[in-house]
Amino acid sequence: MDGGSVSETITVRHGDDTADVAPGTSAIDALKALDAVRGQIVAATVDGEEWDLERPVVEGAEVAPVYADTEQGRAILRHSVAHLMAQAVTDLFPGAKWAIGPPIADGFYYDFDVERPFTADDLEAIEARMVELQRERQRFVRQEVSRDEALELFADQPYKREIIERVEDSEVEASGDGARFTVYRNVTDDGEAWVDLCKGPHIPSSDRVPAFKLLRTAGAYWRGREDQPMLQRIYGTAWESRKRLKEHLEFLEEARKRDHRRLGRELELTHTPDELGPGLSIFLPNGAVVRKEMEDWIRDETLARGYQPVYTPHIAKEELWRISGHLENYAELMYPGMELDDGAAYRLKPMNCPFHILAFGARTRSYRELPMRIAELGTVYRYERSGVVNGMLRARGFTQDDSHIFCRPDQVVDEVAGCVEFARDVYRAFGLGEPSRVAVSTRPEKSFGTDAQWAEAEDAVIAAVERTGLAYETDPGEGAFYGPKVDVHARDAIGREWQLSTVQVDFNLPERFEMSYVGADGAKHRPVMVHRALFGSIERFFSVMVESFNGAFPTWLAPEQARVVPVAADFDDYARHVAAALRSRGVRVDVDASDDTLGAKIRSAQTSKVPYTLVVGASEQQARTVAVRPYRGEQRKDVPLDDVVGEIDAEITTARAGA
RNA sequence: GCCGAGGUAGCUCAGCUGGCAGAGCAGCCGCCUUGUAAGCGGCAGGUCACGGGUUCGAAUCCCGUCCUCGGCUCCA
């Protein structure tokens, strides 16, 4: 069926090499003929399409190996392990219904509909059964079937049937007798053990799985929709070697240690007592120092870039939220109203925009004032669903470095570009490096505004992102109903992505608030509005930094920038002299005058992740020097005090000045 | 909101099938003090998340509530 050539041989290629092989030759044999196998391979590509190793190649095909130690290879490996897991679950839980089991970043999952949720013991049993299946050397055998055959094969698998029924004819390769689906049969020496609907490809046999581990269970809605049944999901991971699996598990353990909630407690940055309520946190003095540096930086930089600061209240009459449309579209995320004696109801603000619009509307605005950039560190409160709150990364009360720019339509490009460049600068200044993802979201199905407005705004957003040189991707149809946007994401310790910066064009609110400015022609015009937050949420950005730096902030942000450690009480006075010299330059410094041993003091400074530990004893006092022990890096002895002070001061000043 | 796992001293965690609530670290008080990750001793610290129930007896078993964590969904 693959080729149908009648000639004696077919030709396959791998780069510049070619080989003539018999028709029906498998991909693996073709690769061997081409001398193109160098390591552990799990599959092939044939003309770019992923291909099972045992599947026959076609005339003239470009054939290439897929190695196990590549992301593509691991995905195939993981997908096959997911099948193995589903088979084990079926063996141990007869009657289990299977949904889907794809590879994901660092692993795989499979969703099942079972009588009762899986327990930790179940996981162990499933894993043990998988090891048995692995040893059975089951071959994964690909087979093409028609839609009807597929439906019959999975007669007692409602989710598989739903998947089959949802596939359009055009999506599967059509042949004479109708649409083609593929299934994979797991075959042992004793016969068939299992069969699953799957596009493939798969590894040739179950013993080719070098290392895997089941990690956890979770509930997951079928097709991700709340109105669908809740299935039981099992997450696992699989790697090309035991060593890589071990490394991955160690990484997960390390990641657990750099969780911002754990570090926040250990380093006394933040406090989240139950008494406060879900999603609410306190910045302790250490954390507040970091936050103040963030706020000072963004305030200064915002002023320098032509923004005007404002201050607005935390609550407003419900009427305001009716005008803005929040009560209509956002009510379930707002705290309930406060009924007051005067009959008016008030609401805690979930966003700052209405206030900034009112600031704009304080008097008649001229086109000469545009663009008008209004900025505020605005604290907002959102009643997030209980299951989604996550430390300070997803909170119910948080502060945005929020700004709204009101401008003429022809100014949108420059304004959006300015915001995206600003966002890039924020990332650089705070040491997060390149964002994990920059996404431009375009017009959704249901949207407000004219075609011309959208086209112009989308072009503006894309042009703006390209001007910054950041790599970005486009999410078609993912924009807000009121305008296109660009979001910048970063990862937390375990690789989850969080949106930090956001820049959004809005045609809707200016209409709802009937905003206007007087143009050069003396007539009223509607301004365009750009929403923009660069940290996004200060709490979230802060937390991503904590995890990114593993609590060891760069010197300019560190709560305690230097600690002076006298080797014995006799040198406490000189230590205080050293501290005073630093403090006079604005350095945050403490002296460890405890009666601990030197080793204990050093350890204490290290576990507190203080950037500079300055050790002083007799020789230092004599020579007016210090021994410098940076948190990271080599220690240096006998450094003149003035040099150290100048060095630390310069480092902080340079970093604070930004990228 | 939904599925699952949890909540014992400030922190990390023991405490089995019900029988007097523990350790290490941190804290406090002493003693000891010169060179780069833990000196020694003592003291104090708990409504075992909260409320009900079963029991002669509950940290332990059952029910409910609150909170936390991992997911799903949703979002900065």
Going by pLDDT thresholds of 50, 70 and 90, the confidence category of residue A1 is: very low
Q: A560-573: per-residue pLDDT in tens?
A: 999 999 999 999 99
| C1' (B16) to CA (A124) span, angstroms | 21
Considering all nucleic acid strands, name the nucleotide whose C1' atom is nearest to the C-alpha of residue A387: B1
| C1' (B72) to CA (A637) span, angstroms | 56
Tokens 């007869």 — which residue?
A94
Helix (H, G, I), strand (E, B) or coil at A202: coil
**DSSP conformation letters of A22-34:** -TT-BHHHHHHHT
Question: Residue A166 pLDDT more than 80?
Answer: yes
Q: Going by C-beta distance under 8 Å and a sequence separation of 6 or more, which residues neighbour residue A577?
A: none
Return the sign of the alpha-carbon dihedral for residues A424, A426, A428, A434.
Answer: negative
| C1' (B27) to CA (A501) span, angstroms | 42
Beta bridge partners of A175: A178
Q: A408-456: per-residue pLDDT in tens?
A: 988 998 999 999 999 999 999 998 888 889 999 998 888 888 888 888 8
| C1' (B17) to CA (A129) span, angstroms | 29
CATH of domain A72-247: 3.30.980.10
Which has more confidence, A192 or A305? A305
Considering all nucleic acid strands, name the nucleotide whose C1' atom is nearest to the C-alpha of residue A605: B37
Going by pLDDT thresholds of 50, 70 and 90, the confidence category of residue A492 is: confident
Other CB atoms closer than 10 Å to residue A35's CB: what's the count?
10
Question: Residue A177 pLDDT more than 70?
Answer: no
CA distances from A408 to A413, A515, A520, A607 (A): 10, 12, 12, 53
Q: A600-631: per-residue pLDDT in tens?
A: 999 999 999 999 999 999 999 999 999 999 99
Question: Residue A30 pLDDT more than 60?
Answer: yes
Question: Residue A2 pLDDT more than 60?
Answer: no
Q: Could you give the CA distance from residue A444 to residue A483 in angstroms, rounded to a whole number?
A: 9
Residue range A562-656 forms a domain whose CATH class is alpha beta
Q: A127-157: per-residue pLDDT in tens?
A: 999 999 999 889 999 998 888 899 999 999 9
| C1' (B31) to CA (A578) span, angstroms | 29
What's the gap between Cα A141 and its chain centre? 37
Q: What is the mean pLDDT of residues A24-43?
A: 87
Q: Could you give the CA distance from residue A538 to residue A11 in angstroms, rounded to a whole number?
A: 61
Report the range of poorest mean pLDDT among A126-135, A189-198, A511-520: A189-198
- Tell me the HSE value of A259 on the side-chain side, using a 13 A CA sphere: 9
Q: A202-258: per-residue pLDDT in tens?
A: 999 898 889 999 998 899 999 989 889 999 999 999 999 999 999 999 888 888 889
Give residue A3's pLDDT. 47
Reported ipTM: 0.92
| C1' (B69) to CA (A536) span, angstroms | 25
Which residues of A belong to the active site?
A: 353, 382, 400, 402, 404, 485, 531
Return the sign of the alpha-carbon dihedral for residues A201, A205, A208, A213.
Answer: positive
Strand pairing class (A345-348; A270-271): unpaired
**Which nucleotides of chain B have an atom under 7 angstroms from any protein CB?**
1-5, 11-12, 31-39, 66-76
Domain ranges for chain A: 10-67, 72-247, 270-314+349-549, 562-656
Give residue A170's pLDDT. 64
Please say whether the beta carbons of A652 and A611 come within 8 A.
no
Q: Going by C-beta distance under 8 Å and a sequence separation of 6 or more, which residues neighbour residue A528?
A: A406, A407, A408, A409, A411, A412, A453, A457, A505, A506, A507, A510
Q: What is the mean pLDDT of residues A549-557?
A: 95
Report the range of poorest mean pLDDT among A101-115, A188-202, A507-521: A188-202
Which has more confidence, A456 or A92? A92
Question: Residue A301 pLDDT more than 60?
Answer: yes
Give residue A60's pLDDT. 84
Please say whether the beta carbons of A81 and A209 come within 8 A.
yes
Give residue A193's pLDDT. 78
Going by pLDDT thresholds of 50, 70 and 90, the confidence category of residue A467 is: confident
Question: Residue A288 pLDDT more than 80?
Answer: yes
**Preceding peptide of A371 cis, ω within 30°:** yes
Please say whether the beta carbons of A209 and A108 come within 8 A.
no
Comparing every residue's Cα with the C1' atom of nucleotide B26, the nearest one is A266
Question: Residue A458 pLDDT more than 70?
Answer: yes
Going by pLDDT thresholds of 50, 70 and 90, the confidence category of residue A460 is: confident
Comparing every residue's Cα with the C1' atom of nucleotide B4, the nearest one is A218
CA distances from A10 to A19, A66, A508 (A): 8, 22, 62
Q: Residue A564: left if φ>0, alpha if ψ -120 to 50, beta else—which one?
A: beta
| C1' (B30) to CA (A198) span, angstroms | 73
Considering all nucleic acid strands, name the nucleotide whose C1' atom is nearest to the C-alpha of residue A278: B67
Which two three-digit tokens encode residue A535?
A: 């940290």
CATH of domain A10-67: 3.10.20
As a whole number, the mean pLDDT across chain A is: 91
Considering all nucleic acid strands, name the nucleotide whose C1' atom is nearest to the C-alpha of residue A218: B71
CA dihedral A60, A66, A71, A74 (to 10 degrees): 130
Beta bridge partners of A630: A612
Residue range A270-314+349-549 forms a domain whose CATH class is alpha beta
Considering all nucleic acid strands, name the nucleotide whose C1' atom is nearest to the C-alpha of residue A235: B71
Other CB atoms closer than 10 Å to residue A434's CB: what's the count?
12
Give residue A176's pLDDT. 54
Give residue A311's pLDDT. 97
Q: Could you give the CA distance from residue A94 to residue A562 in angstroms, rounded to a whole number?
A: 63
